[in-house]
Amino acid sequence: MEGDLMANETRIKAEPGKQEIFVTREFDAPRELVFQAFTDPELYVQWLGPRRLTMNLETFEPRAGGSYRYILTDTDGSVFAFHGVNHEVLAPERIISTFEFEGLPEAGHVILETAKFEALPGDRTRLVNQSVFQSVADRDGMIQAGMESGLTESYERLEELLAKGVSQTAGASQ
Amino acid sequence: MNSSLDTTFAALADPTRRAILARLALGEVSVMELAAPFAMSQPAISKHLKVLERAGLVSRGREAQRRPVRVEAQPLVEATEWLDNYRQSLETRFQRLDALLARLKGDAQKHGAKRRKQKMKRR
């Protein structure tokens, strides 16, 4: 499966029975710029949330000891809030933070995130993000939730593609 | 949470069982042949095989004497798809970041070109 991925595409490592996920992604931009996209609030809102959801960055303090909280609102009014604290913001190489989703039935399920930004030749960057969970169940639960949202996004993109196809066909037949 | 995925991951969360599956990927074997490379008794291997069998990851042939062990792909396929959907949701987000970075690089180049033009005019 890994062999089918294009050069920059997201790679995940989630070994069975472990409490962590590694996400690796390469970008065609220098790491100062990628780091900026993670720490400048005006840039951050432009890419973090899915299109369908409105992103409200309520608090955003990209420094050691700073906190953050953001809220995503769906078209049907449902609200998803996330918050955490930045343990370390070391430009342009590393961000360490906590992360909690407020929508779980029980509070206190916190994830430790370590994002490393590596400079690659040709003004490119590799992001390696490690997420450490409090239990294997928490980690697997996150993947399950992510899978469901992944399916939703995939269906949306499929709908858009189909709509494009239909309108093009209609145009051609006239 | 999908309980068959729970069973699959629990079954995979053991290095001996993963090694057993890796061996079976090369072809079916009898339990005796399977036990050979491990510093482990046959009953111990059989215990592992029971876990794998319950998870649907291996099956035992009916051939009376040998009852060869085979790997079954479906649970692994499900586990891989599950992870891939998660990967896809992250990839979609990173593609938005790609687009933003391309815009920022474009702006930086325009800015640089403007400054060079202004410098030329002042000479």
Q: Which B residues, 52 through 111, put their C-beta within 8 Å of a C-beta on chain A?
A: 79-80, 82-94, 96-102, 104-105
pLDDT value of residue A98: 98
Evaluate if residue A142 carries a pLDDT over 60.
Answer: yes
Contacts of B77 in chain A (CB under 8 A): none
Confidence grade of residue A97 (pLDDT, cut at 50, 70, 90)? very high
Which of B13, B86, B97 comes nearest A147 by C-beta? B86
Residue A52, pLDDT score? 78
Q: What is the pLDDT of residue A29?
A: 94
Q: Taking the CA of residue B56 as centre, how many other CA atoms within 13 Å lie in the half-sphere pointing to its CB?
A: 14
A146, pLDDT greater than 80: no
The model's pLDDT over A162-173, given as tens digits with 9 standing for 90+, comes to 665 554 544 444
pLDDT at A151: 57
Tell whether pTM > 0.90. Answer: no
Position B117 scores a pLDDT of 80
- Residue B89: CB atoms within 10 A of its CB come to 21
Residue A81 to residue A36: CA distance in whole angstroms: 23
Q: Does A12 touch chain B (CB under 8 A)?
A: yes
| Report for A6-20, A115-129, A143-157, B72-86: range of highest mean pLDDT | A115-129
Indicate the residue of A16, A27, A146 with minimum beta-carbon distance to B13: A16
- Asked whether A53 and A66 are in contact (CB, 8 A), the reply is no
Top-confidence residue, A34 or A51: A34
Q: How many CB atoms lie within 10 A of CB A7?
A: 7
> What ipTM goes with this model?
0.79
Enumerate residues 6+ apart whose C-beta is below 8 A from B78.
B2, B4, B5, B8
Give the Cα separation of B105 and A128 in Å (integer): 22
Shortest CA distance to B95 belongs to which of A142, A50, A115? A50
Q: Quote the pLDDT of residue A85.
A: 98
A27 vs chain B: nearest CA distance in angstroms? 7
The answer to whether A149 faces chain B, any CB pair under 8 Å, is yes
Nearest alpha carbon to residue A83 among A97, A57, A101: A101
Q: What is the mean predicted confidence (pLDDT) over A37-65?
A: 91
Determine, for residues B98 and A12 on separate chains, whether the beta-carbon distance falls below 8 Å: no
- Considering CB atoms only, which of B2, B5, B86 is closest to A12? B86
A82/B115 Cα distance (integer angstroms): 42
Selected residue with higher pLDDT from B107 and A35: A35
Report angle CA A17, A21, A27 to the nearest 5 degrees. Answer: 155
Average pLDDT over residues A120-136: 96
Residue B86 to residue A37, Cβ atoms within 8 A:
no
Angstrom CA distances, B72 to A20, B52, B56, B63, B85, stand at 27, 10, 7, 17, 22
Which residue in B has a C-alpha nearest to residue A157's C-alpha?
A: B92
pLDDT of residue A172: 45
Residues of A in contact with B92 (CB under 8 A): 50, 150, 153, 157
Q: How confident is the model at residue A131 (pLDDT cuts 50, 70, 90)?
A: very high
- pLDDT by position in tens, chain B (length 123): 456 777 888 888 888 888 888 888 778 888 888 888 877 788 888 899 999 999 888 998 877 667 888 888 777 777 777 788 788 888 989 999 999 999 999 888 888 888 888 877 766
Contact A14 B80 (CB under 8 A): no
Work out the minimum CA distance from B89 to partner chain A, whole angstroms.
Answer: 4
Lowest mean pLDDT among A65-74, A141-150, B49-58, B68-77: A141-150
**Chain-chain contact of A29 with B91 (C-beta, under 8 angstroms):** no
Nearest to B82 among A9, A10, A143 (CB): A143
Tell me the mean pLDDT in the region A81-103. 96
Q: Could A50 and B92 be called an inter-chain contact, meaning their C-beta atoms sit closer than 8 Å?
A: yes
pLDDT at A159 over 70: no
A72-81, A135-144, B62-71, B89-98: lowest mean pLDDT where?
B62-71
3-state SS of chain B is CCHHHHHHHHHHCCHHHHHHHHHHCCCCECHHHHHCCCCCCHHHHHHHHHHHHHCCCEEECCCCCCCCEEECCHHHHHHHHHHHHHHHHHHHHHHHHHHHHHHHHHHHHHHHHHHHHHHHHHC
